[in-house]
Amino acid sequence: MQTIPDQTQEKIPQTTGQIPQSPLVSAQVQAGLMEHQLKQAFNLAGSNFYSIAIFSLVNSVINFFQGGIYFPIGLAVTQIIDGFSAAFQKDIPQAATAIFAVNVILNILIVAIVAIFGFAVKKQTTWLIPVGGILYLFDGLLMLVFTDWVGAAFHAYFLFRIWSNWQAIRKLSSASAVPTAIQ
């Protein structure tokens, strides 16, 4: 049996395997990557605030149904409001509905503020990250006052995440401010 030489390989031009790169393309790619990383850092920072808001709301619902568990990521402030509400509802049963309404309004207001922080941070409002971190730090100190060590530890972890995202955003923002070939 006679083999026929493969003629298609002869027609394909051979290259060295290296793709020539111009400095302009490289700078554009690098700027695009940096922009993507910056957007990702803002999204992660905003997601931290969303998580805090959601778990705070879930904790309030659990407290309403007198559940015995809570999520330590949630805010101590909403738990304190829930505790006062439950105590006042027992002490003043004729005003239980009004007290419950105030409890719901306060919790929704607090959760909405934290969620707005998350939304604004995802829209790249940088200054809200340290402000939100400081407020969450004060909330973590409330956990310490009530000797909730697990809650304080989770608050410390989320504070670390907020701080890390803020540092990444600051670093990427300052790096993107350096003039490149496309600016």
- Span 74-95, pLDDT tens digits: 999 999 999 999 999 899 889 8
Query: Higher confidence at residue 10 or residue 180?
Result: 10
Beta strands in the chain (DSSP E): none
Cα gap 84→107, rounded to integer Å: 12
pLDDT tens digits, residue range 115-169?
Answer: 999 999 999 888 999 999 999 999 999 999 998 899 999 999 999 999 998 888 8
Place of tokens 């809200």: 128
Alpha-carbon separation of residue 30 from 35, 65, 175, 176 (angstroms): 9, 52, 11, 10
Instruction: Tell me whether residue 2 is in a domain.
Output: no
For residue 84, the enclosing domain spans 38-175
pTM (predicted TM-score): 0.76
Please report whether residue 180 resides in a domain: no
Tell me, yes or no, whether 5 lies in a domain.
no
Residue 165 domain flag:
yes
Residue spans of beta strands (DSSP E) within 32-154: none
Mean pLDDT of the chain: 82
Distances (CA, A) of 32 to 22, 36, 38, 41: 16, 6, 10, 14
Residue 105 domain-assigned (yes or no): yes
Whether 84 is covered by a domain: the verdict is yes
Which of these, 54, 50, 38, 34, lies nearest to 120 by C-alpha position?
50
Q: How confident is the model at residue 23 (pLDDT cuts 50, 70, 90)?
A: low
Q: Does 135 reside within a domain?
A: yes
Count up the domains in the chain and report the number. Answer: 1
Nearest to 73 by CA among 150, 162, 163, 164: 150
Residue 106: inside a domain, yes or no?
yes
CA neighbor of 122 nearest in space, from 41, 22, 5:
41
Alpha helices in 65-148 (DSSP H): 76-91, 96-122, 128-145
